[in-house]
Chains A and B, each alone.
Chain A
Amino acid sequence: MLTMAARWLLPALIALATVPGCTLMSRGPTHSGATEAGAQGHATPAGAAQPAPGPLPGEPAPAGGSPGAGAARQFHLGPAAAALVAQAHQQAGTGDPTQASATLERALRIEPDNPLLWVELGRIRLAENNAVQADAMGRKALTLASGDADAQASARDLIAEAMRARGHNPEAYGADQRAAGAAPR
């Protein structure tokens, strides 16, 4: 239980530390009329402000408008999601994973593409002994975390723990990854 608390404490501190910096960047995904990359408010990539391999000014965004592969960025939580994550940690701390999970789902509705929230939810699943879902959420986080080495690392940690919890060898997963795993799992 102690290690569990420590695991949650760190991301919470990180989340809270980033709160003041992103007040103006967060916008509701379902109400956003603007469509430029990164303006949907969920997990504004910190790198979006730099003219990385994005479209040139005046050029229509390329189809997909997606951040190019390898573009460095860093996810953080908006104030609303950060507050909900803090609340979820409290609920999980008092042994109420169902409530914690419901609270994290509220956060995910606000920032559905934020890998940090998927990792958080996966951790709750792990605490509920649902390693299958923990693993799946780790993978979901990993696909969203493209370009953010830290977020990728915490997604991989979650996947590895979920695999250990299922009695699998996480090394095998690493090998899988290296084999560029195009095959569905």
Chain B
Amino acid sequence: MLLALGAVVLSAALYVLYLDVQVVRQFEGRRWTLPAQVYAAPLELYTGLSLTLPEVEHELQRLHYRRAERLDRPGTYRRQGEHIDVMLRAVRFADEARPAQLLTIDGAESGIGSLRDAAGHDVAVLRLEPLLIGSIFPIHGEDRIVVAPQEVPPLLPAALKAVEDRKFDTHHGVDPLAVLRAAWANLRAGQIAQGGSTLTQQLVRSYFLDSRQTLWRKFREAVMAVALDAHFTKADLMNAYINEIFLGQDGDRAIHGFGLASQFYFGKPLAELDLAETSLLVAIVRGPSYYDPRRHPERALARRNLVLRQLIAQQVVGGAEASAAAQRPLGVTPRPAGAYYPAYLDFVRRTLRRDYREEDLTEAGLRVYTSLAPRAQEQAEHSLQHELERLDKARKRSPVQLQGAVVMTAPQSGEVSAIVGGRDVGYDGFNRALDAHRSMGSLVKPFIYLTALESGRYNAATVVQDAPIDLKLTSGQHWKPENFTREVYGPVPLVRALAESLNLATVGVGLELGLPKVSATLERFGLPRPPELVPAMLLGAVEVTPLEAAELFNGLANGGFRTPLRAVRAVISAEGKPLKAFPLEVAQVASPEVIYQLNRMLVLVMERGTGRAARAQLPAQLVVAGKSGTSSEFRDSWFAGFSGSDLTVVWVGYDDNEPTGLTGASGALPVWAHIMANAGTASWNAPMPDSLAEVHIEYPTGLRVVPGCSEDIVAVAVPGDATLPVRPGCGFPQVSGDTGLIDRARQWLHRLARGM
């Protein structure tokens, strides 16, 4: 009997010892898995930037800067007349760490007048901190931002102790009295109403154990808590608790630790939380789902105020201060802050997977700096939703929603500024921008005309035949393409064939050039798969994703220089060491002369052709170039176009590939125009190469005319040595290609006379 008892005691002691060793070893070697954090592009502020003070203020609010009278801590600003003072937060960029600092932004008529530091010295250029746009967490995994003890405001541990574990500083890991008190309360309530767990026990439960409620587990928890308490300092345990504990759920993503919770609920660092905000987080500890402040604001508010009352009772804060805090609203951001752009993050993740193992991304605490432009991204999302709703109202298939995708880039760098993967922009599902392979339709035409210009046999004024085509294919079938209007236009200048997207003329040109030549052009500009060499290719029977279409057109917008589209600028380690940069790379894939001629024609698409409906929405003086695309039977509606600073590609269609009845001009173009009209974009303004000349031709015939001699004239760029047939009676007195001052004056007078 005594022997049996001895054996039990011995084995229990051995088990406790085993737990003790295990706990200490695991806890000492603890390393939280830190998902990579992903940041948007920082806003560069500099003298002359045309951003008004209200716009600057808006950008600060996007970063959750708080308006305040006194700038006593980072994350605050004040606006006084024509300047804004802002106490910038400390920030780590890929290339430098910057301490918190005071900055004064002076407004001027056209934007920012000057920037000054605390000493009043001029600052030439300065970045705001980048917006956190998400993290790369494992599937069903924990997301967290680890905070060091010095980043934690003293109020938080004080409040946690007051509410969760009053004897934290003195007990030895467990608090038997608290357990008894809780048991008594539960007995009276007839259910589990109160937990008697110390913070240490909660930490053990979260860190070492699963969440089953069994007596055996309770025992293990208690033993391990005592062990932890014996081996580690209270400060260590408190900091571990603050970083470990579960505080919310966002889809697949579990929000752990107060550092991330602060970003998740309030969009700002933990150090900037006030009493009301801190109390809310402490309130959430007890039941992150039950007290979810976004889904159950009343419950959350009631519990937050209960926390505030406990803080008064425990003399953590004064009564007046707490009462004032209790009057405050919850203050959580409407949607998870660090605004969540799943389609863009998807592209970032795919880019990084080429260089990093999944574990590196989800565990190693990398910081990833991207080129996402929050303003452009939000505009693209809004425009797509807005226009698709409008288009859907006019659709027959009312239960089936039109879908769409948008990709925006900065052409000269190839940096992707926005990606929208569907109209439900917050949904992390099918990413149409990257995965919808759709026929590009007439988006292929610029590359056919580019090939034509490169051949040296064509220029914008060259007359081509828009005539019926009947091709016998190798299959024995006949291919008889038609124009959209089903009309035949006869002889037309190249510029008109492109502007009005004439199919017959284009097929004629393409066949004359040869399919392999056209295919080679597409591949040169970045088409990843060689297209099938069939005549229908000339009308866009080539499948591309919106992202691939953007890469193709980016080469045009970038003056014939191809650049791989990039979302990631740099990656640094958790310790701030630069790991990888994705530097700008360009490759010339077409001559400047040929590209310039083509782009001038694409400008005329917007002035005279299938893009002209955008004119009404765009600022009057804005020069843009673009091309519509409609695939066969109206299954895909595309528009791809660019200004001097932004390229935007829009796709609209049904997921099941059913016809939409929309052309590129009626479906994608309105979305495109809505984005570009609100993007604050700069005109396309490339310099004309020296060997080209700007000439005026009659739009219907392509004949060269003196400006003012005909009713229907367009200006095109042609090689300086090109000889163009002149319209009889409209001869040009000089041989040179350039139009002189006198001609411009005559044209101007002519327009005046016509009342234009």
Contacts and interface: CB of A to CB of B under 8 A. Distances in A.
Contacts of B587: 136
Interface in B1-54: 44, 46-51
Nearest to A152: B690
Interface in B673-690: 679-690
Contacts of B623: 35, 61, 63-65
Contact of A110 (B125, B559, B603, B646): B125
B590 interface: yes
Band of interface residues on B: 35 or more
B586 A32 contact: no
A59 B748 CA distance: 6
A88 B48 CA distance: 21
Contacts of B603: 63-64
B547 to A, nearest CB: 21
A30 B48 contact: no
Interface stretch (B185-193, B528-536, B739-747): B739-747
Nearest to A19: B124
Question: Of B410, B592, B751, which is in contact with the most chain A CB atoms at under 10 Å from its CB?
Answer: B592
A165 interface: no
B594 A64 contact: no
A98 B719 CA distance: 41
Given A35-B682, A180-B691, A184-B590, A113 B644 contact: yes
A79 interface: yes
B590 A35 contact: no
A102 interface: yes
B358 interface: no
Interface string B678-711: 0111111111111111100000000000000000
Interface string A9-32: 000000000000001111111111
Interface string A81-121: 01110000000000000110111011011101100000001
Contacts of A79: 46-48, 124-125
B560 A31 contact: no
A80 B692 contact: no
A110 B715 contact: no
A29 B688 contact: no
A55 B569 CA distance: 40
Contacts of A64: 599-600, 603, 623, 684-686, 688, 717
Contact of B46 (A53, A80, A181, A183): A80
Interface string B580-601: 0101111111111110000110
Interface string A55-84: 110111111111111100000001110111
Given A30-B682, A146-B687, A147-B687, A112 B412 contact: yes
Given A64-B603, A70-B690, A40 B744 contact: no
20 contacts: A23-B48, A30-B679, A31-B680, A35-B621, A61-B621, A63-B603, A64-B599, A64-B600, A66-B687, A69-B694, A78-B48, A106-B125, A108-B584, A109-B413, A112-B411, A112-B413, A136-B561, A143-B559, A146-B688, A182-B591
Interface of B: 44, 46-51, 55, 94-95, 110-111, 124-125, 373, 410-413, 415, 454, 456, 524, 559-561, 569-570, 578, 581, 583-594, 599-600, 603-604, 607, 619, 621-623, 644-646, 679-694, 714-715, 717, 719-720, 738, 741, 744-745, 747-748, 751
Given A101-B581, A102-B583, 13 more contacts: A28-B46, A61-B621, A64-B717, A69-B692, A70-B690, A80-B44, A80-B48, A84-B124, A105-B569, A133-B585, A133-B586, A140-B561, A140-B588
